[in-house]
Amino acid sequence: MVSEIYTYVLTAQVKYCRYDMRHPFLEQTYLNIAIFNRSLKKFGDSLQTWQRLEELQKAVYGERSPVLLFTWKNIGTCHLGVGQSDSARRYFEDCIELQAKLPVDDDKEKIKERDRAELASLQ
């Protein structure tokens, strides 16, 4: 039932965006669908949606935007879920590389350290 609702919502939003699959309005919908499918362990379906989200985010925010960290981590996780460990490793390495280039914010250092440990445990 929920899958049908997401399908309907995405279809309606795509029509609203005049079939522009990279329209920023779709970002939250892609995110919700990807998380929903990942939570059901439908890693293949989730991976496709995360990849759509990645394309949209790169178009809107740029190729190396910090916004991509969460998306890349989830793409890597889905690659693991479908047995593609080499692809997963590349995404996790991209996360680590991008995170290292971000300016240091002392208030968030504990969160970044936790994220680094989580990424390291996934490799």
pLDDT tens per residue across span 70-121 = 999 999 999 999 999 999 999 999 999 999 988 876 667 778 788 888 888 8
CATH number at residue 116: 1.25.40.10
Overall pTM surpassing 0.75 (yes/no):
yes
Cα dihedral 64→67→70→72 (10° resolution): -30
Q: For residue 96, what are the domain limits? A: 2-122
Q: What is the dihedral of CA 62, 51, 30, 108, to 10 degrees?
A: -60
| Percentage of the chain exceeding pLDDT 90 | 56
What's the confidence (pLDDT) of residue 105?
A: 66
pLDDT of residue 15 exceeding 90, the answer is no
> Amino acid letter at 106?
D
Total domains in the fold of the chain: 1
